[in-house]
Amino acid sequence: MDEPPNWARLPIHECGEPLVSLAEGGGESRVLSHALYAEDNIPGAPSVVCVRLSVRDRLVKAASLLPEGIGLMVFDGYRPLAVQQFLYDDFTARIARERPYLSDDALRAYVGQYVASPSADPACPPPHRTGGAVDIYLIHLHTGEPLPMGTAPDEVADATPTRWFEDYPQEPFTTNRRLLFHALIGAGFANYRGEWWHYEFGNQRWANCTGAEAAIYGIAPEAASDAEFEAFGTE
C-alpha cells in the first residue's frame, strides 16, 4: 500500500519515552549498531546510535524473527537537527549539480524523497529527530558481512525503493529484502517505501502508514534541551 500524503498533518501525543543507546546490547545481541554519520565526520553526528526505548525492544523482537545466524545492523537512529540540516543541504547541493535542469520546486520535491526537510517545528519534526526512525540492514553474525540487498545502504539508485526487486526479481536481493521487511513489519515497524533500509515506529510517518490516529513520539526528550537549542540556534 502506498503511504498516504502529508504525514505531518497528524497530531503528536508525546509519551515521554527516553532515548537509549544500541551500543549496550552486549556480545550476544542480534541487534548491532555503528554510527555511520559520525564515522563520516558529519558535524554534530552522535558517536553512538540511540533510539526510543520501545524501538530498541522492537528491534530485538525483529531480530528474533530472522533465520539463525542473521542479525540487524542499525546505522542511524536519533538524528540532531543540525545533522538533518547538513544532510539536507549536502544532498540538495549534490542533486543541483547533477541535475541543473530541475526547477527549484522540482529540486525540493526530488530531495524530499530521500532526506526529510530539517524543520524545527515541534508539530512536524523530521522522522529521525523523534528517535523513532532507524536505518538498518542485515548482517551475517559470524562474519559481520552484510547480506546483499541490491544497493548499498543510503545509496540513491533506481533499485533503492523497497519493492524494486519484487517488480524486477533478482536473487538474492529479493529474498533478503523480504527477510528484512517481514521481520521489521512483524515487530510493529512501518517501512518508508522509497528506501529499503528505512523503518520507523511511533512517529507521525508510522502513524500515517499504520492508520494510527496520532503519533506517540515527537522531538526526542534529550533533543528538546536548552543545550541543543543554543548549539543550533534554531528554536
Which residues contact residue 179 at a Cβ distance below 8 angstroms, ignoring those fewer than 6 apart? 66, 67, 70, 138, 147
Residue 41 in grid coordinates: 565526520
Domain assignment present for residue 88? The answer is no
Distance separating alpha carbons of residues 39 and 27, to the nearest angstrom:
21
- The per-residue pLDDT for 223 is 55
> CB 93: neighbour CB atoms within 10 A?
11
Which domain does 206 fall in, by range?
7-82+112-232
Domain assignment present for residue 164? The answer is yes
Domain assignment present for residue 123? The answer is yes
Residue 18 in grid coordinates: 527516553
Domain assignment present for residue 98? The answer is no
Which residues contact residue 211 at a Cβ distance below 8 angstroms, ignoring those fewer than 6 apart? none
Distance separating alpha carbons of residues 204 and 121, to the nearest angstrom:
13
- The per-residue pLDDT for 233 is 32
pLDDT band of 28, cuts 50, 70, 90: low
- Residue 128 in 3-state DSSP? helix
pLDDT digits (tens, 9 = 90+) for 176-225: 999 999 999 999 999 999 999 999 999 999 999 999 999 999 999 875 44
The CATH number of residue 48's host domain is 3.30.1380.10
Domain assignment present for residue 89? The answer is no
Domain assignment present for residue 102? The answer is no
Domain assignment present for residue 101? The answer is no
Which stretches of 52-118 are DSSP H helices? 53-64, 81-98, 104-112
Distance separating alpha carbons of residues 189 and 50, to the nearest angstrom:
16
Q: Residue 185 to residues 71, 133, 156, 220: CA-CA distances in angstroms?
A: 15, 13, 23, 22
pLDDT digits (tens, 9 = 90+) for 73-126: 999 999 999 999 999 999 999 999 999 999 999 999 999 999 999 999 999 999
End-to-end Cα spacing for the chain: 36
Domain assignment present for residue 1? The answer is no
Average of pLDDT values for 40-48?
A: 94
Whether 226 has a pLDDT exceeding 60, the answer reads: no
